[in-house]
Amino acid sequence: MTDSRTDPSKPRSGRGDASALAAAQLVDDRARRDISEATVARLPVYLRALTSLTDKGIVTASSEALAEAAGVNSAKLRKDLSYLGSYGTRGVGYDVEYLRYQIAREIGLTQDWPVVIVGVGNLGQALAGYAGFASRGFRIAALVDADPPATRTRLGDLQVHDLCDLEKLVERLGISIAVVTTPAAAAQEVADRLVACGITSILNFAPVVLSVPDGVDVRKVDLSIELQILAFHQQRKAVDARTPNGAFAPVESR
Amino acid sequence: MTDSRTDPSKPRSGRGDASALAAAQLVDDRARRDISEATVARLPVYLRALTSLTDKGIVTASSEALAEAAGVNSAKLRKDLSYLGSYGTRGVGYDVEYLRYQIAREIGLTQDWPVVIVGVGNLGQALAGYAGFASRGFRIAALVDADPPATRTRLGDLQVHDLCDLEKLVERLGISIAVVTTPAAAAQEVADRLVACGITSILNFAPVVLSVPDGVDVRKVDLSIELQILAFHQQRKAVDARTPNGAFAPVESR
DNA sequence: CCGATTTTGTTCCCGCGTTCACAAGCTCCT
DNA sequence: AGGAGCTTGTGAACGCGGGAACAAAATCGG
């Protein structure tokens, strides 16, 4: 991991004196108010764009440039950032490194997040080896599978533990985020157990709708659904191309 | 793949005589009108719920039951389905098998979709072996990687082709959907080449914002971003737990 | 045959998110 | 010092999606 966890000193700002403390409290105040879910989902995108700009040696960027890099509207970007605080300078733009740190802090990436992956099949293995996690403060703390001993008991430098030890591992390692990559049939039971031992954030790859109590966040990634959405539009394109004016629609296309 | 591609005969319907033909045209007409993106994203979920109900031997389901299985509001489900046509029967509900077929047809799953996976790393391999694709009409037609020959040249029963042959393969196999699982640095170039040889639907796993011309659909799956969103909420929970009544918040609670 | 019951299809309304547009504020140059 | 030129932060308008509520239609029992 090469990302800087260091707290970059505040760049030259409009506020003249050392009212930085008051500013920091204002920041904290702002952060406490609700940030829209849509905005939260874009913060990581901004983060990535900022990192990319830093790699190019760019020190300052306007909202226009940032929005371009992130693939969004500049007004939207400015409004999103305004939820976090006033980190830009009018007439100049945003200090890339400073803003990057502020967003990272807001998301919580300045701390270490141990993660457990439940289900070490094709996908679980791939995720365990995915470099993008570690570089952002997510550390695969444990791998768990229903029957690990017969097959492989180690994967890279990590041992694959038995599902029985799930609760023990979660507690001992202080894990609060779980990734579920089990078959669909096992996912709900695993989720129940995860919730029971205190997990409140689940990233679910199993193609089922998990039901969890309030206070537990579940995000679902469904590869098959993504392809189906693409297929829908693709089919639409094909039909439209065949009947440009809509006049030739037979009873049923295909 | 065990899914039935057979066209189930229309179940007993309120329309008495053989006005089914007119009904089909109305259906086609409806399908041509725009369906909201949010609805499209839910159709695969309904599809899965319906399949699940079929497996349980359930023949008819109310919107309430269906919504429960799909994890959505029943009014929303009914509205979504109404975009496709009138496939329910008032006072009775929906014929599970019939509705399943109609949604599958609407999405385009009644046809075969050959797919190319570009980038056969950890993730690419996992996706190539993912059973959920084949069972829904998505067939991995080709695997492509920048340097396949030295390492493995086959994966399962599929050969890993060289990136040079990308265009040739896409054309020969009639591929219109591509999955990009290359490293971030290579993704944009790959996307450009895909677009150049006629691909109009891309599922992107690389952590970059792909820029493509109009008419090309890109869906992005970003594992790291999903975790970051969870981390944000997790952090928020931790902070809230530390200041339950807002008494300890420095400047202002919420 | 008719009313009661159930459930769909649809309308209406509300709230959220996106976008435009502009005032406020910063820097730079003269 | 002061104006010109940018760029941010935000107020306002707008469009879309979600949910409640209801009318229409189908079945069932008497």
- Highest average pLDDT, of A1-15, A138-152, A184-198, B236-250, comes from A184-198
| pTM as predicted | 0.87
Q: pLDDT tens, A73-89?
A: 999 999 999 999 999 99
Name the least confident of A66-70, A250-254, B24-28, B76-80: A250-254
- Does the C-beta of A62 come within 7 A of strand D? yes
What tokens appear for B135 in the block? 């069972």
Residue B59: pLDDT over 70: yes
Percentage of the residues of chain B whose pLDDT score is greater than 90: 72
pLDDT class of B192 with cuts at 50, 70, 90: very high
Residue A125: pLDDT over 90: yes
Residue B132: pLDDT over 90: no
Cα separation, B70 vs B60, in Å, equals 15
Cα separation, A184 vs A233, in Å, equals 27
Work out the widest C-alpha separation in chain A, in whole angstroms.
74
Mean pLDDT, range A123-143, rounded to an integer: 91
Using CA atoms, how far residue A163 sits from A120, A146, A182, A196, B90, in Å, is 11, 5, 11, 14, 47
- Highest average pLDDT, of A147-151, B6-10, B33-37, comes from B33-37
Which of A235, A245, A251 would best serve as a mutation to test chain B binding (most B beta carbons within 10 A)?
A235
pLDDT class of B153 with cuts at 50, 70, 90: low
3-state secondary structure of A113: strand
DSSP H or E segment with residue B80: helix B74-84
Q: In the 3-class helix/strand/coil scheme, how is B110-163 assigned residue by residue?
A: CCCEEEEEECCCHHHHHHHCCHHHHCCCEEEEEEEECCCCCCCCEECCEEEEEH
Q: In this predicted structure, what is the pLDDT of residue B134?
A: 85
pLDDT class of B147 with cuts at 50, 70, 90: confident
Average pLDDT over chain B reads 85
Under DSSP, the state recorded for A12 is P
- Does the C-beta of A101 come within 7 A of strand D? no
Does A130 sit within 8 Å of B123, measured CB to CB? yes
Which strands make up the sheet holding A177-180, listed edge to edge?
A: A154-155, A158-162, A138-145, A113-118, A177-180, A201-204, A217-220
pLDDT class of B3 with cuts at 50, 70, 90: very low
What tokens appear for A108 in the block? 């919580």
> CB of A118 within 8 A of CB of A180?
yes
Q: In this predicted structure, what is the pLDDT of residue A67?
A: 98
Which of B43, B217, B235 would best serve as a mutation to test chain A binding (most A beta carbons within 10 A)?
B235
Q: In this predicted structure, what is the pLDDT of residue A72?
A: 97
Q: In this predicted structure, what is the pLDDT of residue A25?
A: 46
Enumerate residues 145 to 164 of chain A having a beta carbon within 8 A of any beta carbon in chain B.
Answer: none
Q: pLDDT tens, B199-254?
A: 999 999 999 999 999 999 999 999 999 999 999 999 998 877 766 554 444 433 33
> CB of B204 within 8 A of CB of B210?
yes
Cα separation, A45 vs B185, in Å, equals 16
Cα separation, A225 vs A153, in Å, equals 32
Pick the residue with more confidence: A134 or B40? Answer: B40
Average pLDDT over chain A reads 85
> CB of A161 within 8 A of CB of A172?
no
Question: Closest Cα partner for A31 from B247, B34, B246, B254?
Answer: B254
Rg value, chain B, Cα: 23
